[in-house]
Structure 1
Amino acid sequence: MSTYNIPNQLQGLSDEEVQSSREKYGSNKIEVTHRGAFEMLLDILKEPMLILLFAISIIYVIVGNYAEALFMFVAIVAVSAISFYQDNRSKKALEELEKLNEPLSTVIRGGKIIKLPTHEIVVGDLCITEEGKMINADGRIVHSNDFSVNEASLTGESFSVFKNPEKGNNQIYSGTITVSGLAVFEVEHIGKQTKIGQIGDSIMTIKEESSPLQIQIRQFVKWMAIAGIIIFMMVWGYSYLQSGNLLSSLLNGLTMAMSVLPEEIPVAFTTFMALGAWKLMRDGIIIKRSSIVETLGSTTVICTDKTGTITENTMHLKKLYDYQSDKTFDEEAFQDSALSTLINYAMWSSEPVPFDPMEKTLHQVYVNTQQVDQRKNYELFHEYPLEGKPPMMTHLFQDINKDRIVAAKGAPEAILAVSNLSDIEKEKVRGLISAFGKEGYRVLGVAKSTFEGDNFPLKQQDFEFEFLGLVVFYDPPKKGIKEVFKHIYEAGIKVKVITGDNADTTGSIAKQAGIINTEVGINGNDLAAFTEEQLIAVADKTVLFTRMFPDAKLAVVNALKKNGEVVAMLGDGVNDGPALKAAHIGVAMGTKGTEIAKAAAALVITNDDLDKLVVAIAAGRRIYTNIKKAIQYIISIHIPIILTVSLPLFLGWIFPNIFTPVHVIFMELVMGPTCSIVYENEPMEKNTMQQAPRKLTDTFLNLRELTISIIQGIVITIGVLFSYQWMVQQGGSEEQTRAMVFTTLIFSNVLLSLVNRSFYFSIFESFNNKNKLFPVVIGLTLLLLFAILFIAPIANFFKLTSLNMTELAMSGLIALLSVLWFEIYKWFRRKRSKD
């Protein structure tokens, strides 16, 4: 427990006490109610397609067609099973994501400090919280060190509140965030009994806002449903006038309604989003809301931090500049006695238990160079956290003799501003800082002060500081980072570097990493002088933003959004929270990210690898493209079904009811898996990440794409109706004509699903995209078709007859001509794009 500098008497609960507490008070969960299997099934049975199937089944029973009624009931089971399978896959994927989003908590149990999932915290546990961590239970502080907390989630007030073990000031609450210091608290309330848990029910009732794509798809399905109702009424009325048979006319109308209803579209959307998020999770990318997958593919700007994102975050101490001797020492000379004061104060200005890589390095250099380790003799008794523009921090230590150490470090500009140097001396040091920065080094200033009494200044800048020197770190760019940025630029995405470091260091590292247009940067303090219009223009043109603080980061993100950009913001610290929340896609680092950064973000990269964001953007583009393919396929194949059901009736052809509900539901059973399972599994096309991002405001189908789908559907209709007339001209019976039409439509459906794998590359190139589900679904479809055609009892049930080789060949030829003409369109498109 000494790692956290915590009193040894704090031992925590034993295993038996943990079990007893859990049995008495339960787990630390605010339960989110998920639909159970029965509720999911009920929701499925409320779907319009299932209601239509029930209605048709009842009519078949009434008129005595029991075989057809039984088939409809089997179809109900099949459609329900497919929907249930898809819903269950989506549900399980989302549950897995929820588990991964749960933060770990640090707890003392049996005298040991352990990390465990937050839901395992029990009443009576001793929890440790420190800077950047979210507090995950209500409790009473039993030990603290310069501890402050942000309670905005409960009070709405965004300022920090200092707390300690004293009565009346020792209560902390779940959902609040540690801003500075460290505290150990005894858990008093968990789950629904916490303050935030008591308002949790109202939070759970707030529905997540629908995404633009969800709204567009919902509108499309709504208009198709309205069209279905209108056409149903027309067919029912017309058929009744022709035949005078109410039930037969109703059956015709319901057949028409079934052919119009695109119930596959919302199922496909839900499946694509949930499974897309689940697949990304397996790649180490945690999506906190599945709908964010839709936005990923539209990303136009990536705003990235420098340290730990572009660089390795190793923070190797390369040089020390000692002001007293006016010398710069390389790491081989760190043992020089002239550096003792600088090294000492650089360490004392760091956290006693460091978690920042630079502070860990300073502690290690102190151990390696100082003869006597004084850290156990001194206690931190007052602290000024990292703050200011640019930032600095100050620590006050004292020993049992009340001897004090007042040490400060921070951005060199901040340390120089409060030091006792003359303007000429400051200018000389600034020249050194600039030279170090141009080599890509990260530079910190170090200073010391003295102070008697306990009437400490309100601000650390009010101390009288003596400038000691500079500590110079090198944090090299990550291996392969140039390739990452190359992929980002190829995808038409802009890059902005938003960092707290200075301009020289940032510019040097950015160039080494392959970031372009780094000649001009802008300082966070300068942003305040711009009007909104100027800030939008500056945010658009500038790549490097240095010495940035939370409000400045937020201002840049908002300016980019107002300029029509879709912004992905990468961050890991407490100060990144506002910008992460404001961005379209907030991206937190899973390893070095604080809990507040992860809570504010929509996406967490578990291994802090920027390349994973490129993977996520590619996945977003793939999923969006595949949704469009699925929907265009649905539209194209529904048109011939609708027109084949309606036109023979309205045109008074010899066999007006060429399709019955049995044939339409078979087509629906073929189309459902194709669009929602097969297309979801379709790999990314090879040119996807070489295209510019789509606009977030674009509709999911523009006029050109919708027109293409309609033309595809009409051409297939012409082919299907030609096969109808060809068979009639050959003297075919109703059963033979139905077999010809049905077979032509199934063949066309199979070919359409293959052709629409790409609207740019040829069908033969698409075969290189391995999708093992395509041959399975196509093979099963053709197997069922031939069973219907050539197994007499099944053929009789479908009221059709077998086809001879000439008729099958004719059917296949018509289907080929009806669908493969689109390959000529794609060839012209490829040729035009190369010219």
Structure 2
Amino acid sequence: MIENNFNITGLTQNQVLEARKKYGHNILHFKKESGFLYLVKNLIKEPMVILLLVTSSIYFITGNSGDGVFLAVAIVLVSAISLYQDSRSRDALEKLKIYTQPNCKVIREGVITEIKIEELVIGDCMMVEEGTTIPADGNIVHSNDFSVNESILTGESFSVYKNQIEGTNSIYMGTMIASGLAIAIVTHIGNETKLGKIGKSLEDVLEEKTPLEVQINNFVKKMVIVGVVIFLIVWVINYFNSYNVLDSLLKALTLAMSILPEEIPVAFTTFMAMGAWRLMKMGVVVKQMKTVETLGSATVICSDKTGTITENKMSLAKLYSFESKRIISTKEEINKEEKELIRTAMWASEPIPFDPMEIALHENYNKFFTLDERPLYKMYHEYPLDGKPPMMTHIFQDDAGNRIIAAKGAPEALLNVSNLIPFERKQIEETINILANDGYRVLGVGRTVFKSDNFPSKQQDFQFSFKGLVAFYDPPKQNIQSVFDDFNTAGITVKIITGDNAATTRAIAKQISFKDYDKSISGDELMNLSDSELSKTVSETQIFTRMFPEAKLKIINALKLNGEVVAMVGDGVNDGPALKTAHIGIAMGKKGTEIAKDAASLILVDDDLSKMVDAVAMGRKIYTNLKKAIQYIISIHIPIILTVFIPLVLGWIYPNILSPIHIILLELIMGPTCSIVYENEPMEEDTMLQKPRPYSVAFFNWKELTTSIIQGLMITIGVLIMYQYAVAQGYNEAITRTMVFIVLMSANIFLTFVNRSFYYSVFTTIKYKNRLIPIVIGVTTFITTLLLFVRPLNEFFQFEILNASLIVKSIGAGFVSVIWFEIVKWLKRKNRPLNEVLR
């Protein structure tokens, strides 16, 4: 619990309830398009629905009301499936939005507590700090070096300083805090805020389509164009053969239905949305759909040290007083000079601390000092954390005019502004190295005297008296070594990018057996490199120390120019640019600032980097399963297209072996298979042993596309052989149609099993746990059985009840037309080890 040092009590629980009853919850309500209109608009855009409407209308016009009614029912079914998939995706994304809503801090009954933003009420004392988003409109009553980016309201990107002085004391919902801390009384909530009144929703941000989405949409558009061209050709050919406009149109529409791959965009949306939902259940919140697509391609992860590699449980462990000239543990008996060092370091911290090190300093002040001076002094002037290396200075003054001017920061920064002789400086530097080499995070502490109110423009212009060093220990997380091992196994390089010094970082890296822990480069050194040197350095170096925002950004851009797919882990305000620039920006859910979370595309809820291993695995699984689904769609569409096209164009004895009602029946059965069964497929063995797939490659290479085409052609051959066999035996059109339909249905079932892996055999994949496989296959088999043996259905679809011999032959043709691919997979396993496959 953060300590309240300002005697601000805030509202009581009764006052909170009264305010909420009077003014409501802190929620923004915006007018949204009605659900019905949204559904209708989306359905009108569905090409398959349009084709079904046209075809159904023609059946009714020609007096074939039975087929017309069936297609009308099919419109409802297609619409229902489409709407179900759409609502499933939107529900998953809505839950993600709710899950990513941040909390806020308030002072109630004298205690600082964390609540949901919607629970904020008018009159609340909200405490807002660097890196967060302001949750409501309010007036400042206390501030420390407080500045706000109000670009969401004003369009101006620069930060505006705010304080409790009239005219600069107003803060507004939705604006981002660039620096400092403030306590403000809430004046407006929800739609009564400035943001609410202008009706600007933070969620209404248009995202550009991802490379994969563009590729898939282009593929579907090409198929639609091909479908339109063939549709017109077939319509014209049939019209000149029969001079019957409606009959020739029906035949052409049958072919158009078979060509249209409407399942592909549905599958893409479903896989991405459900992937995001599954990741959220694992503790990984994905803010952007494109992140799901990108995860499997990550080649480099740039990790912060504090809180990512380490526990972020800063404890003040060691002290070095310049006067005592000794390193001592805080658990030992400390003298007057060392107590004074703690006191000075505390005054150099924020009055209401939120940084773990500052919290530790305040706690130790409470421990070693019985008389609390903090209520007696008020912040008089302050210099925020800045400089290279960074430092900060606070000036406090009491009612009698007594001043305390204290500074802390990187030891090098304090050495540069202190009045030390070379020998003293060398002695302190040796002490810094001793502490840093033991893995401690070291801060220098200084103090000065300044009587005038004409303060220098920069804190570095003060002449400080060096008081000593405070050393904090933040132990490595227990699982971090195994996490890094998992990344290396998956072909992902880990780089440490930290603001800490080289010695401390090296010590922590050594403790976790990090590769090349003894090689590092600082931010200043990095900025002086030429482009060619930079490219080589970021590739060969694994540890980057004393990093600042410009240096971090330079690393990310250089890695991207090297062709790497970069994931960046960050939690602070200064990490924002790098998080936004990286392919995958990763923010911490607990210790991450709102600015970091806003810039990131992914949030680790429990600050556990091991979840990124799971996320990468999920990303690879989703990409692989989506590819399986689309390859299945391509493979099964080809025989349907050719079974309609070839008899029609070549003038075979039964040219209309499949009509629109058969095509739509096949579509209704096969559609769920790709988006439901394959989406639920488990990750294949050794997925995380493969190298990341290149981000820039096409979704399908020609080899994979050729495989799907050959599979489709083989099924077509099986269908057409059975067609010609039936004709040769003198069977009528109904028997021939039934045998063709059984071949297609059995091939569809067998293809579902065979294409669960393009490497492992069906005997391996049959053991994969996918509870939807038996359900979908069972339903498909049951429907097929009803169609073949229930007389009214049999007659409606113009089938014939077959004897067992013909059914077995038809199923056998479907089996053979698919199972041959198992031989291809066997040869692949025999000739190529797994780690060479799919690269």
Correspondence for 1:105: 104
**Higher deviation after alignment, 332-341 or 243-252:** 332-341
Q: Does 1:785 pair with 2:789? A: no
Shift of 1:244: 3.2
Does structure 1 residue 3 correspond to structure 2 residue 18? Answer: no
Query: 2:348: which partner in 1?
Result: 349
Specify the alignment match of 1:701 in structure 2: 700
Specify the SS of the correspondent of 2:467: strand
Q: Distance in 2 between matches of 1:157 and 1:513?
A: 45
Which stretch shifts more, 664-673 or 326-335? 326-335
Show the 5 A alignment for 1:232-631: 232-631=231-630
Per-residue deviation, 1:108? 4.8
- In the TM superposition, residue 112 of structure 1 has moved relative to its aligned partner by 6.2
Distance 1:73 1:662 in 2: 10
- What amino acid does structure 2 have at the position aligned with 1:349? A
Moved more, 309-318 or 702-711: 309-318
| 1:137 aligned partner | 136
Give the Cα–Cα distance (whole angstroms) in 2 for the partners of residues 669 and 30 of structure 1.
Answer: 39
Range 103-112 or range 267-276, more displaced: 103-112
**CA shift for structure 1 position 54:** 1.3
What residue is the counterpart of 2:669 in the other structure?
670
Task: Tell me: CA distance 1:508–1:112, structure 2 relative to 1, closer, same or farther (3 Å).
Answer: closer
| TM-superposed deviation, 1:109 | 5.8
* Total equivalences in the alignment: 832
Deviations 1:540-566 (A, max 9, x none): 222111111111111211221222222
Q: Is the aligned partner of 1:170 residue 2:188? A: no
Q: What's 2:19 paired with?
A: 17
Give 2:21's aligned amino acid.
Q
Q: Distance in 2 between matches of 1:397 and 1:434?
A: 32
| Post-superposition CA distance 1:589-624 (Å, at most 9, x none) | 110011111111111111000011121121111111
Contact residue 106 and residue 116 of structure 1 kept, 8 A: yes
CA positional deviation for 1:123: 5.2
Question: Percent identity at matched positions?
Answer: 54
- Aligned partner of 2:134: which letter? I
* SS of the residue 2:285 aligns to: strand
Alpha-carbon separation, structure 1, partners of 2:140 and 2:347: 26
Cα shift at 1:511: 2.9
User: Would the alpha carbon gap of residues 633 and 90 (structure 1) be closer, same or farther in structure 2, given more than 3 Å must change?
Assistant: same
Q: Higher mean Cα deviation, 689-698 or 236-245?
A: 236-245
Q: How far off its partner does 1:346 sit?
A: 2.2
CA drift of 1:121 comes to 4.1
1:20 alignment partner AA? K
Give the equivalent residue in structure 2 for 1:214.
213
CA–CA separation in structure 1 for the residues paired with 2:422 and 2:811: 88
C-alpha separation between the residues in 1 aligned to 2:633 and 2:74? 19
Contact conserved, 2:125 with 2:184, CA < 8 A, in 1?
A: yes
Deviation at 1:152, TM superposition (A): 4.3
Cα separation, 1, equivalents of 2:38 and 2:687: 39
Partner of 1:649: 648
Contact 2:749 2:777 in 1 (8 A): yes
1:28-67 to 2 correspondence within 5 Å? 28-29=27-28, 31=30, 33=32, 36-67=35-66
Q: Residue 519 of structure 1 aligns to a residue in which SS? A: coil
Cα deviation 1:178-210 (Å, max 9, x = unaligned): 233332334445455655456655987753111
Residue 32 of structure 1 and its aligned partner are, at CA, apart by: 7.1
Higher mean displacement: 116-125 or 735-744: 116-125
Distance 1:456 1:780, change over 3 A: same
Q: Distance in 2 between matches of 1:665 and 1:584?
A: 41
Q: Is the 8 A contact 1:221 1:262 kept in 2?
A: yes
Deviation of residue 419 (structure 1)?
1.4
3-state SS of paired residue (1:209):
coil
Cα separation, 2, equivalents of 1:558 and 1:539: 10
CA shift in 2, pair 1:567/1:197, >3 Å: farther
Q: CA 1:763 to 1:34, structure 2 compared with 1: closer, same or farther past 3 Å?
A: farther
Shift of 1:448: 1.8
The question of whether the paired residues in 1 share the 8 Å contact of 2:635 and 2:712 is answered with: yes
Query: Partner letter of residue 556 of structure 2?
Result: V
Q: Which runs of 5+ in 2 are unaligned?
A: 835-839
Name the stretch that deviates more: 690-699 or 530-539.
Answer: 530-539
Give the Cα–Cα distance (whole angstroms) in 1 for the partners of residues 744 and 220 of structure 2: 23
Inter-partner Cα distance in structure 2 for 1:634 and 1:292: 25
Describe the SS at the equivalent of 1:50: helix
Q: What is the distance in 2 between the residues matched to 1:239 and 1:545?
A: 71
Give 1:465 shift.
1.2
Higher mean displacement: 455-464 or 29-38: 29-38
Kept after mapping to 2: 8 A contact 1:485/1:514? no
Q: Is the 1:394–1:406 Cα contact (8 Å) retained in structure 2?
A: yes
Higher mean C-alpha displacement, 767-776 vs 192-201: 192-201
Note closer, same or farther for the CA distance 1:557–1:152 as it changes in structure 2 (3 Å cut).
farther
Q: How does 1:678-827 map to 2 (within 5 A)?
A: 678-827=677-826
Q: Which amino acid aligns with 1:575?
A: N
User: 1:339 and 1:204 mapped to 2: Cα distance?
Assistant: 52
Per-residue CA deviation, residues 603-647 of structure 1 (Å, 9 max, x unaligned), is 111100001112112111111111111111000000000000111
Q: Contact conserved, 1:334 with 1:369, CA < 8 A, in 2?
A: no
Cα shift readout 1:658-704 (whole Å, capped 9, x = no counterpart): 11111111110111101111111111112211111112211111111
Separation in 2, partners of 1:300, 1:684:
19
Contact persistence 2:147–2:179 (CA under 8 A): yes
Question: In 1, are the aligned partners of 2:4 and 2:110 still within 8 Å (CA)?
Answer: no
Answer whether contact 2:304 2:497 (CA < 8 A) is retained: yes
Q: Residue 302 of structure 2 aligns to which amino acid in structure 1?
A: C
Q: Secondary structure at the match of 1:161?
A: strand
Number of the residue aligned with 1:84: 83
Q: TM-score, normalised by structure 2?
A: 0.95
Counterpart in the other structure of 2:837: none
Residue 95 of structure 1 aligns with an amino acid whose one-letter code is E
- Once the 2 structures are TM-superposed, how far is the Cα of residue 534 of structure 1 from its aligned partner? 2.9
Aligned AA (1:3): E
Work out the CA distance in 1 between the residues paired with 2:833 and 2:286: 37
The DSSP-based 3-state class of the residue aligned with 1:4 is coil
Matched letter for residue 67 of structure 1: G
Residue 256 of structure 1, CA deviation: 0.3
SS in 1 for 2:455: coil
Deviations along 1:779-820, one digit per CA (max 9) or x if unpaired, are 110111111111111111111112222222212221222111
Letter in 1 for 2:20: V
Match of 1:127 in 2: 126
Q: Matched residues in 2 for 1:525 and 1:751: separation?
A: 62
Measured after TM superposition, the shift of residue 282 of structure 1 is: 1.3
Q: Contact between 1:29 and 1:119, CA under 8 Å: does it hold in 2?
A: no
Q: Residues 72-109 of structure 1, C-alpha deviation per residue, up to 9 Å, x if partnerless?
A: 11211111111111111111111111112222233456
SS state at 2:88 partner: helix
In 2, Cα distance between equivalents of 1:476 and 1:277: 32
| In structure 2, distance between residues paired with 1:506 and 1:136 | 36
Q: Contact conserved, 1:589 with 1:604, CA < 8 A, in 2?
A: yes
- Kindly provide the CA deviation profile for residues 126-166 of structure 1, in whole angstroms up to 9, marking residues without a partner as x: 43212222113333323334433233444555554332222
Shift of 1:5: 3.2
Whole-Å separation in 2 of the counterparts to 1:321 and 1:634:
70
- C-alpha contact (below 8 Å) 1:28/1:121 kept by paired residues: no
| Greater shift in the superposed pair: 778-787 or 356-365 | 356-365
Any stretches of 5+ residues in structure 1 without a counterpart?
A: none
RMSD across aligned C-alpha pairs, in angstroms? Answer: 2.3
The 1:615–1:603 alpha-carbon spacing in structure 2 relative to 1, beyond 3 Å, is: same
Distance in 1 between residues matched to 2:735 and 2:557, nearest whole Å: 66
**Offset at residue 459 of structure 1 (A):** 1.5
Contact 1:135 1:176 in 2 (8 A): yes
Give, in angstroms, the shift of residue 536 of structure 1.
2.7
Contact between 2:143 and 2:163, CA under 8 Å: does it hold in 1? yes
Whether the 8 Å CA contact 1:45–1:80 is kept in 2: the answer is no
**Whole-angstrom CA distance in 2 between matches of 1:455 and 1:276:** 59
Name the stretch that deviates more: 320-329 or 630-639.
Answer: 320-329
Equivalent AA in structure 1 for residue 22 of structure 2: S
